[in-house]
Amino acid sequence: MSLPPVPLSELPVGGRAVVVGLDARPELAARLTALGFLPATEVWCRRRAPLGDPRVYELRGIQLCLRRSEARRVLVEPA
């Protein structure tokens, strides 16, 4: 039995997960998709800013920063 999806914003630094979907308005969903947040994509949380926001995520060979409010819209299954 697999666990229910959680927001990417809950992934701890050093954690790995697989994208299962997006829960965002069409404009934000299109932006996140263009950045590579597609189903079955592995993503790692690499580091965070000193105050916790934003965080650096790695996926598809790139590293990018997302605010917590954006990362909350990406649903993942921790790996």
- pTM of the full structure: 0.92
Domain boundaries, given as residue ranges, for the chain: 6-78
Cis peptide before 54, with omega less than 30 degrees from 0?
Answer: yes
The three-point CA angle 43-55-39 to 5° equals: 25
Q: pLDDT (tens digit, 9 = 90+) per residue, 40-55?
A: 999 999 999 998 899 9
Q: What is the pLDDT of residues 22-75, one digit of tens each?
A: 999 999 999 999 999 999 999 999 999 998 899 999 999 999 999 999 999 999
Distance CA 26, CA 3 (A): 26
Residue 1 pLDDT: 52
48/26 Cα distance (integer angstroms): 27
Superfamily of domain 6-78: Ferrous iron transport protein A (FeoA) (2.30.30.90)
